[in-house]
Structure 1
Amino acid sequence: MSARDKIMEFMADKAERPMSAAELMKVFKIEKDQKGIFINLLKKLVKEGLLFKTQDGKYGIPEKMDLIPGRIEGNPRGFAFLIPDDPTRDDIFISLENLKGAMHNDRVFVRLLSRQKGKNREGEVVKIIERANHQVVGNLEKSKYFGFVVPDNKRIFYDVFIPKEELNGARQNQKVVAEITRWPEKKRNPEGKIIKILGSRGERGVDIEGIIYQLGLPQEFDYEVLEEAKSIPLEISKGDLKGRRDLRAMPMVTIDGADAKDLDDAVSIEEVDDNQVRLGVHIADVSHYVKEDSALDREALKRGTSIYLVDRVIPMLPERLSNGICSLNPNQDRLTMSVFITYQLEPFKLMEYEIVPSVIKTNYRLTYDEVREILVHKNKAAIQKYRDFVPYLKLMNKLRKRLREERVARGSIDFDMPEVKVILNEDGKPVDIINRVHGIPEQLIEEFMIAANRVVAEDMYWRQIPFIYRVHDQPDHGRMADFNEFIHNFGYHLKGVNNEIHPRELQELLQLVEGRPEERLITRILLRSMKQAVYSDQNIGHFGLALDYYTHFTSPIRRYPDLMIHRIIKEVIKKGYLPARRQEELEEKLFEVAEHSSLQERKAMEAERDSVDLKKVEYMKDKTGEEYEGIINGVTNFGFFVELDNTVEGLIHVENLEDDYYHYVEEQHALIGERTRKTYRFGDRVRVRVERVNLDERQIDFSLIE
């Protein structure tokens, strides 16, 4: 048993009260020369939320003190939720006055204010464990004697006070980076100093730069990381092949978007007999090049993920690896980890699987559009060009269909939300917004990756190996009750809301609304009502996929958990087990890796969404006076939001509805005319005119056309 486990076992089962470090040292007979190590371990357990340190320096189990550790998720409207570390716990509402100076993404301990379950579950921050926002990016509002930085990230709802002597030459309306020097307190804003001026508001590229700086990550890799990358050969040696299965003669391809450069997965398929096929999923073996605790590894962990902004990529690994030796480029030898899964087609059943280190050479680098031309449009030129691989694609499509049917049968939820791509010209200006297609080719890769991730997670779980899982917990009961109340307006109803709802219920609802005017709206509200999938060292299953075991194994070039998982799998395959010391090391490390990776993923998602939304608003800048069709996707007491078919969103202010006095009726999620009883509600289609576009506020105002 590891030292941390011994401490936790003692505190949970034997300690009758919170204890000081000195008392615990006596219990565990810690020598003076080991004091520093022991104190650091206690600090780490506090940071992980496993222990709570009182004001008088005593340590106790949070649950015994009615405390819940987790991370704050701010809301632009001035309140927040605690996302508990324990993914089986419901989220907890926290009002502004009960945040006690905590900010978006901070790690905290929270105490419940009420024992009541459901929508009224509310708490207050008792202690801040770790701050997340050491820097804030925003616009400077300057007066004669001081200034305020108004954050771009609206989840950070405190403006940062800047004393005159800390303005450092920044001027009114400039986009700046402020470093926090004093954290917010009750009725007191955070205080900071300007450390970087990004440029004037509206200046080309400044807004995207702001998004990048808000991530707190450098765009460039430092000298040590680049030098380590340079030392990695660009060719595979004979020594690299030792212990690997040679699959270079096996027909296989990569299938990605046309602009993808970091190709980390290839697929193959074999017909075992008339009723069995063998799927091969081959993933770049990044762990062969990025050694644990190397400069490359430390930087990859710090970044956590590659970030795909609208006009650039901030990679997790230097280009020499991500687009070079680790990328599964066609007709080049590459080191991989391969998962082979044999399926019986009728009745559909997983028969056996195998996970092996390998070396491959892909035949082609296919795009989704090329595969679409072959499988969907039966394009003769495309079929002729790839004629030697077309039979494999057809067999893959047959397996895709069976995998998808099996996934639907077990209750997996498919959120078919429209995704768009903003097209930029050479000057970075948006010139078009196009819908991303999610058809058969995209589904094919999606199903194969889910299959590989599922097999790997289950294998490691039953071996009882310390691991990182991709988990998605049951929805919060209160939010599901609210959602059920909302869909009543459209004539729908969910069963089992008061108990543990099965994902099949939600899947069936999405099938019911498919193709209806309210489909996009109900899908979006359902997404908001569910918990986020996260990384965890504890397996609780994946609600959305209706799976008991799931992980992320298939993208080690761009996701750190996948890279860590590859290392663990290779160690287990090589020895058949993990030595006790390595198990203890991983048990101490994986919580922090999972927690940090989840945080970095959330930051990346926010940044990616912000960059797209920014360019959407910029795209509409010269569209003033133009008319569009849209759907009402939000109703408030001050107006309603309309989403156009190109996913651009704007607001119609209630004061601009001039034919009547309109009042917000919360139960119906609608604005209703006092005299005419005319109603504007969620899901209604309307025609609008673009009236104003405000780039600074990233806001578009519409007017209604009757």
Structure 2
Amino acid sequence: MELKEIIKEYLNEEDLSYKPYELYTAICGDATDQYDAFYKALGALEKEGEIVYTKKGKIMAIRFSGVVRGTFRASAKGFGFVTPDGQDVKKCDIFIPRDNTFDAIEGDTVLVSLSKPKNRTSVGQSDEGKVIKIVSHSLKTLVGTLLVAKGRNHRKPLFYIVPDNKRHNLDITVERSDLNGADVGDKVEIEITKYPTGRNAGKGKVITVFGESDSLLANYNAVLHSHNIKTLFPKNVLDDADSLSRSDITPDGRLDLRDRLIFTIDGIDAKDLDDAISAEKTDNGYILGVHIADVSHYVTENTPLDEEAFTRGTSVYFADKVVPMLPKALSNGICSLNKGVDRYTLSAFVTLDKKGEIIDVDIKESIINSKIRGVYSELNDVIEYGDGSEYYEKYSPVLGKTLDTMLELYDILAKKSAKRGALDIETSEAKIIVNEFNEPTDIIKIERGVSEMLIEQFMLCANEGVANWLSWRDMPGVYRIHENPDPEKIRTFDLFAHNLGINTSPLHTKTLHPTALRRVLGEAKEKQLDSILSKILLRCLMKAKYSSNCSPHFGLAIDKYCHFTSPIRRYPDLATHRIIKKVLKNEITEKNIGKYTAFATQAAIASSENEVKAQMAERDIEDLYKTVYMLDYIGETFRGVITSVTSFGFFVELPNTCEGLVPISSLDGYYDFDERSFTLSNGRDIFSLGMEVEVIIEDVDIITRKTDMRVIMQ
């Protein structure tokens, strides 16, 4: 062990402080040849924020000092929050006022001293702190628009960057010699060569030019690049995938299900079909069969394919495009459960009683041949119109006993889910239609029908069943967990809902259960406020993540849960498959179980990080497409719903899910903001959450991805 680690470990054992010579004696004894190494190690530990010096010059571990080390998260408004680094000192985020950030920027590792909030005006306010040291910067590059300030009095022009990410609100200038061919108005990436401090701007040099900043393609590529989304696969990975895609498929050693009525149901545009279903009714209940593409047969551990899949972690979807986790030869080819071809699968047979409770789970390596390439919209049409549907003949093999059994089981599972308190959160998902030039031509709010909800319930059931299967055997796994929400944030939600006139008494319990939140959302739905309240609740809940520890999933109200059903597009599912197959073959023993536990832990951590990265990229791309789409509607009138009210205006969501701001400056007269009722009022007119208004699109800015609106007064 290095001397630095020895010192760190020693100081973290007890809440004690030492003079340097005392610590040297404790660590090095009477040795006289370790002084240089010792003080070098102390310097490194102080620089890394692992130790601090007291006012009396004593050394102590950061965890005992009252100083918190963590990651700074910036706000576009100048303030920020610090998320502590797994210390016992603080578990919740610490609010950092605008004047106490010490010029920290997004992602910085910082040291924070805690203080009491000066103005505790709202329920759920975080503890406050002051950044006293920046340990390290994580932001090395910046993506934004290159602009120029014209020089005055013969001074040279000043080139600078306007960052795309408003949390990266940095003043960075670029010398003409560092433009690297970029023109004013281009979308660029710069390398930060000097960080800004106080009133002094930082410096940078252009390292990538994406194109003109008002170009959809330039912005599209910039978003992917800024989130480190790789669109190309290494040649050796493509070669391996191509070779595997031509391998033979035989039933040897597998449960042969090719004669069973098994089929897929997916969106009409889906190419990577990784789940198929079957169901049968028994005297005591049901047997649900969920048959998942056996990706782990092709993507084996410690291969270039596996390493690439681990690095990507997930497929990324936007508009009509996908950046796949696996090469298309696998994702759309030999792994995809296409109609009429033999495919390797991992089948989970979940035995349920008549109430939908899981009785047993049996998992088999199998081979299937899908009988129908089902499409959600088509099956919904058949369910609604029967033999009057144009798709009736296509689905005739499953109509009658099979579909009736599936619909019956779906109804049981949905009612069971509601009864246990699973949260039914309303979200506005959009489908973006693009033309051959990748330009958005329409945006449609996605509506879910019976078949979508049926598949969702079947996949939830399979995931829960597989998690139980692993847990019953005390085997490692990559579990999907959702921690209980922070009580302070629930109090914030409580106050918000109460001020909207919602009865929040179900929340006033010692231990919060999801059924309480479900009841509040239910009343909000009756008052047509569920969409708004759902958005607020999502901000107050913890984020679901992956873990090798089997903990409950709060939002689903399930004790054990994992992701098993999408190994083509999610690495944690692939990791779970790999572990299951090891268990089936009795290859996990007392001697090597630690290896698989470590693998599950690594996969969980990496998958959680990659999921967040992919979600941010998908959100930014969607915002970009929506902005470009709305450019064609400047001056046109829409009806929309107020989704947020602030002191500077209110946001309106249109039926197509596009959103814009009505600035308070565009309203006639003086409007007062009431933060308790979330309203803007001038004594005569009032704007409140959930209110329907008519607006004109005033301005659309592709660089900032913002849409400004003006309300039409009735």
* Alignment TM class, shorter chain as reference: 0.7 to 0.9
Find the partner of 1:546 among 537, 553, 557: 557
Kindly tell me: are residues 252 and 671 of structure 1, through their superposed partners in 2, closer, same or farther at Cα, counting changes over 3 Å? same
- Mapped contact 1:481–1:497 kept (Cα < 8 A): no
Cα distance, 1:81 vs structure 2 = 3.5
1:330 pairs with 2:339: yes
Cα distance, 1:311 vs structure 2 = 4.4
Q: Which moved more, 1:399-408 or 1:372-381?
A: 372-381
Determine the structure 2 residue equivalent to 1:93: 95
Determine the structure 1 residue equivalent to 2:305: 296
Partner AA of 1:141 in structure 2:
L
Kindly tell me: are residues 59 and 552 of structure 1, through their superposed partners in 2, closer, same or farther at Cα, counting changes over 3 Å? farther
- Mapped contact 1:474–1:500 kept (Cα < 8 A): no
1:481 pairs with 2:478: no
Kindly tell me: are residues 514 and 458 of structure 1, through their superposed partners in 2, closer, same or farther at Cα, counting changes over 3 Å? same
Determine the structure 2 residue equivalent to 1:247: 257
Determine the structure 1 residue equivalent to 2:287: 278
Partner AA of 2:327 in structure 1:
P
Write the distance in 2 (CA, Å) between the matches of 1:283 and 1:130. Answer: 44
Secondary structure, aligned partner of 1:630: strand
Cα distance, 1:95 vs structure 2 = 3.8
Kindly tell me: are residues 59 and 559 of structure 1, through their superposed partners in 2, closer, same or farther at Cα, counting changes over 3 Å? farther
Determine the structure 2 residue equivalent to 1:703: 710
Partner AA of 1:502 in structure 2:
H
1:357 pairs with 2:365: yes
Counting only pairs closer than 5 Å after superposition, residues 363-378 of structure 1 correspond to structure 2 as 363-378=371-386
- Mapped contact 1:632–1:686 kept (Cα < 8 A): yes
Partner AA of 2:385 in structure 1:
H
Cα distance, 1:393 vs structure 2 = 2.2
Partner AA of 1:284 in structure 2:
A
Kindly tell me: are residues 360 and 74 of structure 1, through their superposed partners in 2, closer, same or farther at Cα, counting changes over 3 Å? farther
1:192 pairs with 2:194: no
Write the distance in 2 (CA, Å) between the matches of 1:156 and 1:587. Answer: 37
Q: TM-score, normalized by length of structure 2? A: 0.85
Determine the structure 2 residue equivalent to 1:53: 50
Kindly tell me: are residues 341 and 588 of structure 1, through their superposed partners in 2, closer, same or farther at Cα, counting changes over 3 Å? closer
Secondary structure, aligned partner of 1:616: helix
Determine the structure 2 residue equivalent to 1:202: 214
Determine the structure 2 residue equivalent to 1:78: 78
- Mapped contact 1:270–1:279 kept (Cα < 8 A): yes
Determine the structure 2 residue equivalent to 1:35: none
Alpha-carbon displacement from aligned partner over 1:351-380 (angstroms, at most 9, x marks no partner): 211122222221111010121122223244
- Mapped contact 1:142–1:171 kept (Cα < 8 A): no
Write the distance in 2 (CA, Å) between the matches of 1:516 and 1:640. Answer: 20
Determine the structure 1 residue equivalent to 2:352: 343
Partner AA of 2:228 in structure 1:
G
Counting only pairs closer than 5 Å after superposition, residues 513-532 of structure 1 correspond to structure 2 as 513-532=524-543
Write the distance in 2 (CA, Å) between the matches of 1:515 and 1:359. Answer: 47
Cα distance, 1:281 vs structure 2 = 0.9
Cα distance, 1:442 vs structure 2 = 0.7
Q: Which moved more, 1:411-420 or 1:515-524?
A: 515-524
Determine the structure 1 residue equivalent to 2:422: 412
Determine the structure 2 residue equivalent to 1:511: 522
Alpha-carbon displacement from aligned partner over 1:28-58 (angstroms, at most 9, x marks no partner): xxxxxxxxxxx9xxx9xx9xxxx973379x9
Partner AA of 1:79 in structure 2:
F
Kindly tell me: are residues 352 and 86 of structure 1, through their superposed partners in 2, closer, same or farther at Cα, counting changes over 3 Å? farther
1:617 pairs with 2:627: yes
Q: TM-score, normalized by length of structure 1? A: 0.86
Secondary structure, aligned partner of 2:393: helix
Alpha-carbon displacement from aligned partner over 1:415-434 (angstroms, at most 9, x marks no partner): 12222212112222222111
Counting only pairs closer than 5 Å after superposition, residues 16-55 of structure 1 correspond to structure 2 as 53-54=50-51
Cα distance, 1:511 vs structure 2 = 1.4
Determine the structure 2 residue equivalent to 1:121: 127
Partner AA of 2:653 in structure 1:
E
Determine the structure 2 residue equivalent to 1:31: none
Cα distance, 1:145 vs structure 2 = 5.3
Alpha-carbon displacement from aligned partner over 1:229-283 (angstroms, at most 9, x marks no partner): 2331434344xx554322222211111100011111111112223x421001111
- Mapped contact 2:275–2:566 kept (Cα < 8 A): yes
Larger-Rg structure: 2
Q: Which moved more, 1:83-92 or 1:542-551?
A: 83-92
Find the partner of 2:473 among 463, 466, 470: 463
Cα distance, 1:576 vs structure 2 = 6.6
Unaligned runs of 5+ in 2: 30-40, 150-155
Unaligned runs of 5+ in 1: 1-5, 28-38
- Mapped contact 2:361–2:466 kept (Cα < 8 A): no
Cα distance, 1:697 vs structure 2 = 2.1
Partner AA of 2:368 in structure 1:
I
Determine the structure 1 residue equivalent to 2:32: none
Determine the structure 2 residue equivalent to 1:236: 248
Determine the structure 1 residue equivalent to 2:699: 692
Write the distance in 2 (CA, Å) between the matches of 1:417 and 1:529. Answer: 15
Write the distance in 2 (CA, Å) between the matches of 1:230 and 1:24. Answer: 60
Secondary structure, aligned partner of 2:593: helix
Write the distance in 2 (CA, Å) between the matches of 1:353 and 1:127. Answer: 53
Alpha-carbon displacement from aligned partner over 1:134-174 (angstroms, at most 9, x marks no partner): 43221112344553222212233324443433221212110
Alpha-carbon displacement from aligned partner over 1:371-412 (angstroms, at most 9, x marks no partner): 112222324442322212123222111111111111110100
Identity fraction in percent: 37
Write the distance in 1 (CA, Å) between the matches of 2:586 and 2:134. Answer: 42
Q: Across the two proteins, how many residue pairs are aligned to each other?
A: 674
